[in-house]
Chain A
Amino acid sequence: MITRSFKSICTSLSLVLIISVVIGLQSFLLNKETIIGNPVNEFSLINVDGRKIGLNDYANAKGFIVVFTCNHCPFAKLYTDRLNALNEKYKLNGVHLLAINSMDSILYRDESFVNMQKRSKSEKYNFPYLQDGDQTVGRNFEADHTPHAYVIWKVNNQWTIQYSGAIDDNGEEPEKAKPYIENAVNALLKNEAVTESCTPSVGCKIFYRK
């Protein structure tokens, strides 16, 4: 039952209609395969401090929590404290949190690099906040909504996706939430399989330019 329901989320043949808000074109995004176990390619994105950051910059990392988020989405904003707490908790175990903004900064004035810097500062982010200016990284991860979180882990010397979906299952009441990310990271740190490896991400749709 449980496996099936994961499957239906991650592998359902969902036809997602995108009205590209700026250029007025429509495209169809076809989500066909499960992305769990997929390899993650190295990337190098600019951080709000001006440095370029990639996975290889963390020599001894066991894993990463990669969170696609943004400045303007009300639901994403609920998770600020939780992101700081996750990074604080797991970086000592070699699992680092990277936040990536793949929102179209031409479409949304709020998503400019300057506004990312402001937000990182005002919310006291203790993790890098990277701009995915051409949306390549978000596209490769198939990030759907902000926030959309991934746990990636090294398998046979290759970074692979081990969890995809929501950070937890309650935006406004963290104390009542089922902590999907923590459960996934805890399992991986113990060399165990992630039991719930795929959930739908909930928040603001990320529109990809054609």
Chain B
Amino acid sequence: MNVIKSFCLMIMTIAMNQVYGQYNDLWIPDTLSGTQFNLNLVDTFAQMRPGNQTITEGVNNKFWGPTLFFNQGDTVHMNIQSFLNDSTTIHWHGMHLPAVMDGGPHQVIPPGTIWQPYWKVTNNAATYWYHPHLHMMTQEQMTKGLGGFIIVRDPIEAALALPRTYGVDDIPLALTSRRFDASNAFVTTNTSYGDYMLTNGTLNAQVSLPKQMVRLRILNAEMERAYNLGFSDNRTFYIIATDGGLVDAPTPVTRVIVGVGERIEILVDLQNDVVGSTLDLKAYNGGFSLGFPGGEPNPNGQFGSLLNNTTFTVLHINVSNPTSNPITSMPATLVNNTYWTAADATVNRTINVTNGNPGGQPFDLDNTPFALNTINKTINLNTIEKWTITNNNVFGHSFHIHDVEFKIISRTVNNVGTFDEGWKDVLYLPVNSSATFVARFDDYADPEHPFMYHCHFAPHEDGGMMGQFVVVDNSTNIQEQQEAKEFSLFPNPSKDKLHIAFQGENFEVYYIKIMDAVGRTVYMLPRPQVQNGIDISQLTPGHYFLQLTEEKTKLTTTQQFIKE
């Protein structure tokens, strides 16, 4: 019996290897830098497996779009144009910016629309990312590959002798997996775990890395699975950065857990490896207790997958010759972080993971499923707050908050582990545990537009495990409802630039939307810089509506213009 069984298994394994066993070269996303970024959101398709192409979405045509390089201190202007079949939003994960620029579920970009957010980059040098955040559609659109990395540079990081030649000794790795149906389409419903590993969108990825110190920027871009990462020879590697910046000093580890939404930068020393030798970065996800996202043993079904409860390769590394100016040693210290402490916090909040029992309501927070028009928390500008997230529930989660980077100060299990160091915007929350962080909510008050806090498991977020907060500035008087201020558009008709003439003083624009004659939104312009007029040269001639919302009163007025 046993003999027959193993024989069958062998045939299966061989057959699988013929189809999936070859390594494919890791896709290193293209790069964009400067202060003006043009991102086109498109429907496309890719030959991922033999047979039919897989329908994907992509930024600038690729499943997993360009890596955006920002310099701290620059003001970056994004020009997002959607050619998608469906509406979407694009969220700048980890960025500290005004809520109206944040790309949360309220900033819906319909098909054919241009959205132009901008902000001053204040984040520390680290690895961030952008991805869709349309409520109830996040899993589907993230699964299709809409998203990309953001790499922030700053002077402190730039002064350190760290690998930073992108694609050579500084490699971004977006870890995800996918399940395919019989026609090779991604499965996006009733599925939480993929059956096949995709690294930067590449199945069975391999990369050549030089025989020197190499930096890997690892992002868990999964729907639910956490990764317990390590190298196949159990070598020590060094954590140099987490979500929101460098840690104080490189931390040696042999394993690190990266939860959904989290980023980690590591240094791995390949100087003692032989050129031509190989090494695997693996997910040691076998044998975890139930509740570890990735530990459920079923090979199929909604919560199972072929990769669950197994050890699998995330990246196959071929060691190649060193570069001409290799980094050969590691700085002993990196940065001197000053963190908020519990004593700094003037407001304490608790958030409980609730519901989500099999057959019951989906997971939510504080028994309150997400509602687009409900603000769950109001935070005063410049307040340092302490939040305790408690998960006395059936499953692990990844808690993410927009606007801020926080410091985890305590946990009830595992203490504050290596993966919790540094500035964070996501925390992995195991079952039956609490985690407490402190954060300062500064710079950007907007009583109108909320930020999100939520579970970063897309199926949980889509299911309502999300809340909203506004940051308010009580030092300025909130104006009573008053008459909208008058403005006029000139020249009208207009060909290239449309100017706005304001009646009266202190006129600030909160939002401009331009709609065509049948009501399609063509431009979404949060806080547009209108001094030099609005560029309408790309519009097709015709009749348009300009809907202007004032900053102070948030009153909205609509006027018409003709594009020649």
Q: Which residues of chain A have a CB within 8 Å of any CB of chain B? A: 5, 14-15, 17, 19, 21-22, 24, 26, 72-75, 106-110, 166, 169-172, 176, 199-200, 202-205, 207
- Once bound together, how far apart are the Cα atoms of A18 and B51, in whole Å? 28
B45 within 8 A of A: yes
**Neighbour of A19 across the interface among B55, B83, B136, CB < 8 A:** B136
Q: How far does the Cβ of B20 sit from chain A's closest Cβ, in whole Å?
A: 18
- Once bound together, how far apart are the Cα atoms of A108 and B53, in whole Å? 24
Most buried by A among B52, B181, B182, B189: B52
**Neighbour of B183 across the interface among A24, A73, A169, CB < 8 A:** A169
Range class of the B interface residue count: 20 to 34
The reply to whether A108 and B111 contact each other, CB–CB distance below 8 Å, is: yes
- Once bound together, how far apart are the Cα atoms of A171 and B42, in whole Å? 17
- Once bound together, how far apart are the Cα atoms of A51 and B228, in whole Å? 64
**Neighbour of A169 across the interface among B45, B52, B86, B520, CB < 8 A:** B52
Q: How far does the Cβ of B362 sit from chain A's closest Cβ, in whole Å?
A: 13
Q: B residues within 8 A CB of A22?
A: 110, 519
- The answer to whether residues A21 and B43 also contact, given A26-B136, A169-B183, A170-B53 and a CB cut-off of 8 A, is no
Q: A residues within 8 A CB of B137?
A: 17, 19
Q: How far does the Cβ of B134 sit from chain A's closest Cβ, in whole Å?
A: 7
The reply to whether A75 and B136 contact each other, CB–CB distance below 8 Å, is: no
Q: How far does the Cβ of A143 sit from chain B's closest Cβ, in whole Å?
A: 14
Q: A residues within 8 A CB of B53?
A: 75, 170-172
Given A169-B183, A202-B185, 17 additional A-B pairs, CB 8 A: A14-B189, A17-B137, A19-B137, A21-B110, A72-B83, A74-B42, A107-B111, A108-B112, A109-B112, A169-B52, A170-B51, A170-B52, A170-B53, A172-B45, A172-B47, A202-B52, A207-B86
The residue on B at minimum CB distance from A177 is B52
- 19 CB contacts below 8 A, A to B, read A14-B189, A17-B136, A19-B137, A21-B110, A22-B519, A24-B108, A74-B44, A106-B519, A107-B520, A108-B112, A109-B520, A110-B112, A169-B52, A170-B52, A170-B53, A172-B45, A199-B183, A202-B183, A202-B185
- Once bound together, how far apart are the Cα atoms of A21 and B51, in whole Å? 32
Q: B residues within 8 A CB of A21?
A: 86-87, 110-111
- Once bound together, how far apart are the Cα atoms of A125 and B55, in whole Å? 25
- Once bound together, how far apart are the Cα atoms of A169 and B49, in whole Å? 13
The reply to whether B111 and A171 contact each other, CB–CB distance below 8 Å, is: no
- Once bound together, how far apart are the Cα atoms of A22 and B51, in whole Å? 35
Q: A residues within 8 A CB of B110?
A: 21-22, 107
Main secondary structure of the interface of A (DSSP, over half): loop
The reply to whether A166 and B111 contact each other, CB–CB distance below 8 Å, is: no
Q: A residues within 8 A CB of B323?
A: none
- Once bound together, how far apart are the Cα atoms of A205 and B86, in whole Å? 8
- Once bound together, how far apart are the Cα atoms of A166 and B45, in whole Å? 16
**Neighbour of B43 across the interface among A17, A19, A74, A176, CB < 8 A:** A74
Main secondary structure of the interface of B (DSSP, over half): loop
List the 10 closest pairs (A to B, CB-CB), nearest first: A204-B85, A21-B87, A170-B52, A171-B53, A172-B53, A169-B52, A21-B110, A74-B43, A202-B183, A200-B183
- The answer to whether residues A73 and B85 also contact, given A107-B111, A199-B183 and a CB cut-off of 8 A, is yes
B332 within 8 A of A: no
Q: A residues within 8 A CB of B182?
A: 5, 200
- Once bound together, how far apart are the Cα atoms of A68 and B78, in whole Å? 36
The residue on B at minimum CB distance from A20 is B87
**Neighbour of B45 across the interface among A26, A171, A199, CB < 8 A:** A171
- Mark interface residues in B104-139 (1 if CB within 8 Å of A CB, else 0): 000010111000000000000000000000101100
- The answer to whether residues A74 and B86 also contact, given A21-B111, A200-B181 and a CB cut-off of 8 A, is no
Q: How far does the Cβ of B45 sit from chain A's closest Cβ, in whole Å?
A: 6
Q: How far does the Cβ of B82 sit from chain A's closest Cβ, in whole Å?
A: 10
- Once bound together, how far apart are the Cα atoms of A73 and B55, in whole Å? 11
B518 within 8 A of A: yes
For window 390-431 of B, CB contacts with A under 8 Å fall at: none
- Once bound together, how far apart are the Cα atoms of A79 and B202, in whole Å? 27
For window 28-75 of B, CB contacts with A under 8 Å fall at: 42-45, 47, 51-53, 55
Q: How far does the Cβ of A82 sit from chain B's closest Cβ, in whole Å?
A: 14
For window 80-99 of B, CB contacts with A under 8 Å fall at: 83, 85-87
The residue on A at minimum CB distance from B185 is A202
Q: A residues within 8 A CB of B52?
A: 169-171, 202
**Neighbour of A74 across the interface among B45, B87, B112, B189, CB < 8 A:** B45
The residue on A at minimum CB distance from B112 is A109
- Once bound together, how far apart are the Cα atoms of A176 and B49, in whole Å? 13
Q: How far does the Cβ of A147 sit from chain B's closest Cβ, in whole Å?
A: 12
- Once bound together, how far apart are the Cα atoms of A108 and B181, in whole Å? 29
Most buried by A among B55, B85, B136: B85
Q: How far does the Cβ of A140 sit from chain B's closest Cβ, in whole Å?
A: 22
- Once bound together, how far apart are the Cα atoms of A15 and B186, in whole Å? 17
- Once bound together, how far apart are the Cα atoms of A108 and B45, in whole Å? 20
The residue on B at minimum CB distance from A205 is B85
Q: B residues within 8 A CB of A207?
A: 86
The reply to whether B185 and A200 contact each other, CB–CB distance below 8 Å, is: yes
**Neighbour of B518 across the interface among A106, A110, A200, A205, CB < 8 A:** A106
Q: How far does the Cβ of A208 sit from chain B's closest Cβ, in whole Å?
A: 13
The residue on A at minimum CB distance from B43 is A74
- Once bound together, how far apart are the Cα atoms of A17 and B462, in whole Å? 11
- Once bound together, how far apart are the Cα atoms of A109 and B87, in whole Å? 14
The reply to whether A72 and B85 contact each other, CB–CB distance below 8 Å, is: yes
